[in-house]
Amino acid sequence: MEQVMRNFFLHMGKNKVATKVAKKYGMRFGAGKFVAGASLDSSVNAIKQLNSKGLSVTIDHLGEFVDNEAEATRMTKHCIEAIERIAAEGLDSQLSLKLTSMGLDIDYHMTLRNMREILKAADKYDVFVTIDMEDYERCERTLNIFTELKKEFENIGTVLQAYLYRVSEDIEKLNELSPNLRLVKGAYKEAPTVAFPAKRDVDINFKKIIKMHLLNGNYTAIATHDDQIIDYTKKLAEEHNISRDQFEFQMLFGICVDRQEQLLKEGYKMRVYVPYGQDWYGYFMRRLAERPANVAFVLKGMMK
């Protein structure tokens, strides 16, 4: 049943009609637990609250199905505005973005132009930018753009997904760039020809790539709510004398809040991924697909 529910929510997350309806009628039925409102102002308020507790942040202006140049340009300008706001407010925050929001599905070179504009602003204000990874179809293009931009800009990182067979090879290829990587399990529905179907195999591969990247001496963000993975990372760092300055844990806004604060108390760097914006629907569906507990929370909210 759990797999059926996961497939259902992943399918709904890609439904363009449902996305438009959700955007029109706003964040209801529990989405507000995982999304910090629709505006940049709302995300700034969330950042300030998290920073006051000692938590670092990365914000993401959500966008799905950008299919025209004007919309990609608008998203680019908004990212620059967010960078400027982070600097003006003195916030402990980075910026995360998706290349499809910058025009990846429209034109490769236009995407590069938009990213260069964003990264010039990021360099000016010393704000780090992470390129989020999307589904397998866009993986190669995403890494190609990251590789090209990393040769020009320092304040840039990207994401690799443990459920993909190719991920170990990607880490080896990227190592010459000394990249700052966020490592995740992966949240998209992929074919068994490209991704591990079983959670156990994903977990094994996740541990493998965490060890690879840390022992390569590169900065590593371990993005997970899985206590087993967190404990593995702690022990690995102790066994190999890896400084806590070389890695951080990342978790999603509104999920495992107590665990976030506990890791902070233990002296680990803890960053919260804070999404915001009107195009929240696809992100919300993926969060429901990931954990049955999320579905229970939403149903409880609807009953109230």
Condensed to tens digits (0 to 9), the pLDDT of residues 199-225 reads 899 999 999 999 999 999 999 999 999
Residues acting as catalytic residues: 132, 182
Please tell me the total count of domains within the chain.
1
294 has a pLDDT exceeding 50: no
- Tell me the pLDDT of the chain averaged across its residues: 87
Instruction: Decide if 290 is inside a domain.
Output: no
pLDDT digits (tens, 9 = 90+) for 275-290: 998 766 666 666 666 6
Residue 158: give the domain boundaries. 36-279
Q: Residue 34's pLDDT band (boundaries 50, 70, 90)?
A: confident
The amino acid occupying position 82 is: A
Instruction: Decide if 40 is inside a domain.
Output: yes
pLDDT digits (tens, 9 = 90+) for 110-123: 999 999 999 999 99
Instruction: Decide if 237 is inside a domain.
Output: yes
Q: What's the token pair of residue 111? A: 């995407």
pTM: predicted TM-score of the whole model, two decimal places: 0.87
Instruction: Decide if 45 is inside a domain.
Output: yes
pLDDT digits (tens, 9 = 90+) for 258-275: 999 999 999 999 999 999
Instruction: Decide if 15 is inside a domain.
Output: no
Q: What's the token pair of residue 207? A: 């541990």
Q: What is the CATH number of the domain that holds 122?
A: 3.20.20.220
Instruction: Decide if 22 is inside a domain.
Output: no
3-state helix, strand, coil in the chain (%, to 5): 55, 15, 30
Query: What's the DSSP call for residue 283?
Result: H
Instruction: Decide if 286 is inside a domain.
Output: no
Instruction: Decide if 182 is inside a domain.
Output: yes
